[in-house]
Every structure is written in C-alpha cells, then in structure tokens.
DNA sequence: GACAACGGTCTGATATACCGGACAACAACA
DNA sequence: TGTTGTTGTCCGGTATATCAGACCGTTGTC
C-alpha cells in the first residue's frame, strides 16, 4: 500500500541505492533473495547485483548458503562502535540486564527516531520468547506507552506537527482520539509513568518511565513489557524498580 | 607505515568512498573531524562533505556536539539484525554472559576474518575495565591464543598461504618462529585448548578452546582473558568451564 | 522437447556523480 | 592590520558509474 521504498528515479546515485537496499533488509529482518531486493528497492537488476557484490566484498553484506542476502560482519562491528560510544546506551545496558534478571521480564530502552517510536535496546527475560529483537523498528508514537512519556512537556502544536495524521490509527483500525491522547500525555507527565494494556497487541501490558538528560523532555524511556495477567502488586513492584533504575540513568546535567 | 587506507584513484565510486570512510571510523574507534576523515581516506574534501551529509540524513552517521562524525543509529540497528540472525552469535551470547558472571572474567568469542583474528563478541567481567570493546578489530593470527586454535587442522601450506609474512612479527618487534608456531598449533589441537601468556600484552593470560560447527576446522573460539597472576587451580577451573560451554555451543551437524 | 521463468554475468552508451577549485566566514597570531 | 590556516558551501566540466538489455545456464512445467 504505502510505498515505503524510495521510488527513486532511474540512474540514481550508487550511495542512495545502497542506503535503500540496507533499509529494505532491515525492514524485512530476514535475508532476501536478489529478486526480492530488486523489487523492494525498485533498483535495476544489474545495479543491485553490482552493489551487493561490492558490499559483500567489504563485509557489509553476506550471502547465506541458500543465496539470500543479509547484513554482514562489518555492520556488527559498526553497530557496536555506535553502541559503545553512546553514553546512554552504554550505561543502560547493565542496568537493564539486572532488571531482566531480577524480574525475568523483557526490559527495553526506547527513544524517538524522527517522528516514530523505536526500541534502542532490548533485554529479554530468561524465557527466550522472540527470536529476533525489534530494535530499530519504527512504530507510530501513539501506539505505545513509551510514546506518551516521550512527548511529555511538548507543546500541543509541536506534538501535532510531529506526529503524522495516520499514526493515530491503530493496527486494529481503531482511531485514537487526539484530545484524549493529549490529556493522556499530560496525566502521564504528572504521574511520572505510563501504562497501557492491549494497545497494539492485546496480551501485553506496557509500563514506561522517563529517562532524563538535563532539563527538557525525556531523552528515552525504560520499560517493561509484561503479560496482562500480572496483578496489581506485581505491577507496583515492577514500576518501583523501573523508577529507581531510570533515576540512576538520568543525569541532571 | 602500512598504508591501510585504500589509496584510491581520483574520481572513485561513491560507494567505495563510503566504505573506506566507515572503515576509517571503525579503525579510529572515535568520532573524527571532517579533516581527519579527509586525510585518513584520501578522498577529496567536497566528496567527504557530501557523503557525510548523505549518510547523516540516512542515520548511518551522526555528528557529535563538537562537530565530529561517528556512526549513527542505523548502524546499530543493522548490526543487531546481523547478530540476531547469526545462529552462533545468538546462542553464544547467553552462554558467555553466564561465564562472565560466574567467574567475573572477560569472555570473548573469536573468529577468523579473512587472514586476521578478530573478536566477535565480548562480555566483560563486572569490573568495567575497558571503556570500549575491541570487537571487530583485526589482529594478526599468530599474536593470539585463539589464532592457534582456529588454525588447528589446516595444512601447513594453507596456513602459510593464509598468514601474511609480516604477521609473524609481534608488536614488540620480536619475530615468531614459524616452525615453532606450527608445532604449537599441532600440540594445541591435540590438547584441545591454547594458553598464551604475555604474547601481545605482557600482563594478560589468554586461554581459548575451539567451538565446532560440523566437521573441519573450528568455527570460532571461546576464550577468557585473565591476569597472569591467576594460579594453576584457577586456570584449571576456568578451562573446564570454557570446555563445557564450548561443547554446548558446538554442533556435530 | 518446447517453452517459460529464474539467476547471474557482461557490455556499451550516456546521464550524472564526483571532484577541483573558487569563495566566504572565522580564528589565531605577529 | 595583514597573513595564514581551518571549516564549510557551491558550482561547472568531464571521467565514469549506472543502467538497459543481450546473453547463457539451470530449473520446472506442460
């Protein structure tokens, strides 16, 4: 439906081709055949073949045994360079591990990426539920508890200017009331945390607290994703732990 | 001395410029100023500026507050995609965490990358010693314990063909005797592990065991890096743990 | 066996990306 | 104040990267 791929003109710059190629791989989160890549990017066949071979030589991409293409070692190296260099991520990792270990729940560090919400770090509980994390997957802000925290303190105009109209429609087709959403954000800000149930997925309960960096809006959120069956006291416990952890991560600047 | 950067001809392909640009960033492991990037890559000024801005827009690079350039979020996403998708890495991570937690030592998963040795995963002990990991940094094979394990089972010719002549010279300037090295590998193979002391760095003791995937040479090694002051029984304990862990990671195929 | 779909390589023409170099803003310094 | 170095933007010519399409081997289907 939505042509997410850059409907690029013919004779595009190689670098742009490379970028859209990698973006497609990230979207699919699975190795892709050359054919799929060609169709997904809209790039000419010969260009895709050439670029893939260039990138493979550099270790940016790898070809699996069945001829599919996916990210290679180099990306792993570069990604770790980024994560190691990023202050917040580096400090958050051990904290999140401890949270996950202690409560055996999935802990996430979430941030805004442009006008979308995204998971930056994911730490699973012991039970290895999901095989691949969803780090870097962009989700409309109104769909999430964290989104409500991250918008805290923003002006009404800035908020509406930021969020695309269509992002207020849930996967179910239901539309989120804008006024209610704004009120939600305000009460979230006062309360200091957000908790949503069955917003995107009907079995999950999401709780998020802000992580600050200096004054201004929250830099990130720390959150638990738990089953809806968790009872009240359990939720209290988890929230308290989140608050404490986020406090240790926040910096007054 | 060694011109590691691709002394590329003028009017090079943009994609190649991008590749060498990122490689330089990875080598430096620190944000770089435009000037440094220009000098390191040998690319024209205008090209670097243009490419950096293209890549920044895509989130591949980011500019720090002081105008330096480093990897961006996108790399983090792609890198995690790679690591999540890679069977060995995914399985190794929890195992390594447990090892590090139990013994409070640095655990690493190492592999060959071309004709070099490199760390693929690094799990620090509790004491946060080194601020940035060395994942993806290429090191001559003969400098390491893991290298000796990884070469196990290779023919003499293949080995000598693989390793560049200059890689037998240690950072200290000392030259590693080739015959001794080959004998070392053979005894390592028989023994089932390698242990080196003060090879690259005089304070460390490195112990490595192979991780197999099907028949043939080891796919990777699992290793501890400990202080040389660790006594005999401690070393035995650690080795036993490594062996057990590597066994759980290896697959008969 | 004929036909179609697919997977990959190769080549030549041409649109354009890349680069040299000009330009401006700013700082350091004598 | 003039000189020198650095940081960044912009522009036009031309070397060349990109792309259309031909080509070939393989696979599957009727």
**Are residues A225 and A206 in contact, defined by beta-carbon separation less than 8 angstroms?**
yes
CATH number of B14-77: 1.10.10.10
Could you state, in order of their start, the residue ranges of all structural domains in chain A? 14-77, 86-249
Q: Which residues touch strand C (CB under 7 A)?
A: A 9-15, 33-35, 45-46, 49, 53, 67; B 10-15, 17, 43-47, 50-51
pLDDT reported for residue A1: 31
* B113 in contact with chain A, both atoms CB, cutoff 8 A: yes
Mean pLDDT of chain A: 90
Is CATH 3.40.50.720 what the domain over B86-249 is classified as, yes or no? no
User: Pairing state of beta strands A106-113 and A116-123?
Assistant: antiparallel
* A70 in contact with chain B, both atoms CB, cutoff 8 A: yes
| pLDDT > 80? residue A109 | yes
Cβ contacts of B136 on chain A, cutoff 8 Å: 73-74, 76-78, 80-81
Tens-place pLDDT, residues A9-20: 678 899 999 999
Q: What are phi and psi of A139, to 5 degrees?
A: -130, 140
d(CA A174, CA A168): 9
- The alpha-carbon gap from A74 to the nearest alpha carbon of chain B, in Å, equals 8
DSSP reduced 3-state for A78: helix
**Are residues A121 and A89 in contact, defined by beta-carbon separation less than 8 angstroms?**
yes
The runs of H, that is alpha helices, within chain B are 14-28, 34-41, 45-57, 73-85, 87-103, 145-150, 156-162, 178-191, 232-249
* A26 in contact with chain B, both atoms CB, cutoff 8 A: yes
Tens-place pLDDT, residues B3-37: 334 445 678 899 999 999 999 999 999 999 999 99
Tens-place pLDDT, residues B163-195: 999 999 998 899 999 999 999 999 999 999 999
d(CA B182, CA B70): 40
In the predicted model, what is the mean pLDDT of residues A76-104? 94
In the predicted model, what is the mean pLDDT of residues A218-229? 92
pLDDT reported for residue B8: 57
Tens-place pLDDT, residues A21-67: 999 999 999 999 999 999 999 999 999 999 999 999 999 999 998 89
In whole angstroms, D29 C1' to A33 CA is 23
* B78 in contact with chain A, both atoms CB, cutoff 8 A: yes
- The alpha-carbon gap from B74 to the nearest alpha carbon of chain A, in Å, equals 8
| pLDDT > 70? residue A253 | no
Instruction: Tell me whether residue B103 is exposed, middle or buried, using C-beta atoms within 10 angstroms of its C-beta: 0 to 12, 13 to 18, 19 or more.
Output: middle
Per-residue pLDDT of chain B (253 residues; tens, 9 = 90+): 333 344 456 788 999 999 999 999 999 999 999 999 999 999 999 999 999 999 999 999 999 988 999 999 999 999 999 999 999 999 999 999 999 999 999 999 999 999 999 999 999 877 655 556 689 999 999 999 999 999 998 989 999 999 999 999 998 899 999 999 999 999 999 999 999 887 777 788 899 999 999 888 899 999 999 888 888 999 999 999 999 999 999 986 5
């Amino acid at each position: 439906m939505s042509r997410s791929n850059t409907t690029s003109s013919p004779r595009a710059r190689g670098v742009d081709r490379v970028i859209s190629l990698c973006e497609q791989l990230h979207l699919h989160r699975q190795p892709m055949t050359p054919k799929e890549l060609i169709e997904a990017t809209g790039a000419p066949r010969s260009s895709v073949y050439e670029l893939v071979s260039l990138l493979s030589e550099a270790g940016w991409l790898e070809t699996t045994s069945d001829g599919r293409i996916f990210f290679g070692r180099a990306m792993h190296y570069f990604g770790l360079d980024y994560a190691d260099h990023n202050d917040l991520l580096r400090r958050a990792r051990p904290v999140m591990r401890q949270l996950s270990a202690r409560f055996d729940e999935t802990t996430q560090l979430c941030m805004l990426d442009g006008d979308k919400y995204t998971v930056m770090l994911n730490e699973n509980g012991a039970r290895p539920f999901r095989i691949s994390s969803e780090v870097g997957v962009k989700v409309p802000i109104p769909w999430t508890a964290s989104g409500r925290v991250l918008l805290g303190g923003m002006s009404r105009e800035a908020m509406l200017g930021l969020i695309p109209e269509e992002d207020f429609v849930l996967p179910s087709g239901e539309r989120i009331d804008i006024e209610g959403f704004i009120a939600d954000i305000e009460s979230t800000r006062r309360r200091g945390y957000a908790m949503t149930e069955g917003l995107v997925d009907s079995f999950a309960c999401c709780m998020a607290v802000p992580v600050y960096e200096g004054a201004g809006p929250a830099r990130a959120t720390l959150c638990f994703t738990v089953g809806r069956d968790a009872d009240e006291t359990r939720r209290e416990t988890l929230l308290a732990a989140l608050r404490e952890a986020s406090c240790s991560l926040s910096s007054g600047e």
